[in-house]
Structure 1
C-alpha cells in the first residue's frame, strides 16, 4: 500500500522471527478491534462471531466516537490512508460508522489467500488445528464479502502479490482508481 502512497500510520506492529518484514498492522487499531470483539465475548481466534448480529445501536456511539477521535489526529494530515487488520473483516459495520463520523470515503482491499495456506500458517504460529484455521478463514472472508458488497472494493491475490507484485499492484491501483507513482 505504501507504493500507492497510502499512509499506514506510525505505530505498526514490528517484525517477528517468523515474519521479519512485519505485519503492517497498526498496534492501536488491532488493540481496538480486540477490545470490541472481547466486549462481545469473542476473540479473533474464536469462531462463531457474526457481525451482522452485532447491534450497532446507541450503546456503540461512544466506541465509534472514541475510535474516530483517536484516528483523526493520527491520519488527518494524510490525503490517503488505510490500515490492515484481519480482525476488521468481522467488524466492518462498526468501522463504516467510524468512517462516516470521520467524513471519509472508504474503499476496501480484500486480500484473498488460499484457505489451506491460512490454516497452515495459523497452525504453525499458534498451534491451531487445521479445522479451526479453515473455520476462521471462512468466517473472516464471508464477513468481509457480505459487509462490503455494496462498497468500492478490490480483490488482491496474496499468492499473486508475492509472485508478481507489480502486476497485482496495478490491479489494486486500478480497482481503487489510484495512480501508481
Structure 2
C-alpha cells in the first residue's frame, strides 16, 4: 500500500465530502475531521485547522472561497510554514492519509511544494445541482453559483490536463460505488471493504435540466475525464 498522501479535490457542494467518507471506509485515514454539520449530515470530513491557512492564501491574492482566483497561486514562505505546522497533525497517523477542503482545488501549488508526492482524486457534479445546493446553504444566486463553479472546475481541469489527477468521480453517476472502488484500488486502499458512508439521505439536490450554455463545454470536458 502506498504511503503517499491523498488530496480530495472539487468544487464546494460537489460530493467531495461523500468521496472523502467513502475512501475513509476503504482505508484512507482522515484524522480529526468534522463528522456532523447542518448541511452535511455526516460532516464535511475536513480538518478545520486547514481553513485559516487556505483562507489566508486566498485573501492575499484578493480571492475567497466564493471568489476563486483565475490563475494558479504561488504561496509565500509564511503560508508554506503555516501549512507545515498543520500537517504535524498527521504525524503518526496510519498511512495512507488524506484530506479534503475544496479551497485546495484553486490553491494547490503550495501543497505540492510541501508534499511533492501528493496524489489527487476529484469529485465533480452537475453545475445546476451544485448551484441549487449553494442556494439552499448560502442563498447564492444562480449566476454567482455558476461563476464559482467555473472557477473551481477550470482549476481542476488544469490538473487533469497535466495528468496529475488519479481519478475523477461523477457524484451522480449510477455506478458511483464501482467508480470509487476502482479509484481506491489505484490508491492502494482496500477496494473490497464495506463502504456504508454514502446513503440516499446525503443527496438533496438533483439536476433535471441540461447544463446552461455558459458552463456546458466545461461540464462536458469534466465528464469526459471522469472514471
- Report the TM-score range of the alignment, normalised by the length of the smaller protein: 0.7 to 0.9
**What is the DSSP-based 3-state SS (H/G/I as helix, E as strand, rest coil) of the residue aligned with 2:168?**
strand
| Alpha-carbon offset, residue 21 of structure 1 | 1.2
Residues 81 and 145 of structure 1: CA distance in aligned 2, closer, same or farther (over 3 Å)? same
Counting matched residue pairs gives 169
Alignment match, 1:22: 43
How far apart, CA to CA, are the structure 1 residues paired with 2:159 and 2:42? 30
How far apart, CA to CA, are the structure 2 residues paired with 1:166 and 1:30? 29
Alignment match, 1:97: 113
Task: Confirm or deny: 8 A CA contact 1:16 1:22 kept in the other structure.
Answer: yes
How far apart, CA to CA, are the structure 1 residues paired with 2:77 and 2:45? 28
Q: 2:178 aligns with which of 139, 151, 167?
A: 167
Query: Within 5 A, what are the aligned runs for 1:77-116?
Result: 77-100=93-116, 105-116=117-128
Relative contact order (alpha carbons < 8 A, sep ≥ 6): 1 or 2 greater? 2
| Alpha-carbon offset, residue 62 of structure 1 | 2.7
Bigger share in helix: 1
Query: Within 5 A, what are the aligned runs for 1:135-146?
Result: 135-146=147-158
Residues 138 and 129 of structure 1: CA distance in aligned 2, closer, same or farther (over 3 Å)? same
How far apart, CA to CA, are the structure 1 residues paired with 2:184 and 2:35? 26
The superposition leaves residues 113-170 of structure 1 with CA deviations (integer Å, 9 ceiling, x where unpaired) of 111111111111101111111111111011022135232421111113xx55531322
How far apart, CA to CA, are the structure 2 residues paired with 1:114 and 1:171? 21
TM-score, normalised on structure 1? 0.82
Decide which moves more: 28-37 or 116-125: 28-37
Task: Confirm or deny: 8 A CA contact 1:15 1:21 kept in the other structure.
Answer: yes
Task: Confirm or deny: 8 A CA contact 1:106 1:152 kept in the other structure.
Answer: no
Deviation >3 Å, runs of 4+: 163-166
Residues 137 and 6 of structure 1: CA distance in aligned 2, closer, same or farther (over 3 Å)? same
How far apart, CA to CA, are the structure 1 residues paired with 2:138 and 2:88? 34
Task: Confirm or deny: 8 A CA contact 2:125 2:172 kept in the other structure.
Answer: yes
How far apart, CA to CA, are the structure 2 residues paired with 1:151 and 1:135? 24
Superposed CA RMSD in Å reads: 2.0
Task: Confirm or deny: 8 A CA contact 1:51 1:93 kept in the other structure.
Answer: no
How far apart, CA to CA, are the structure 1 residues paired with 2:143 and 2:151? 12
Residues 164 and 30 of structure 1: CA distance in aligned 2, closer, same or farther (over 3 Å)? farther
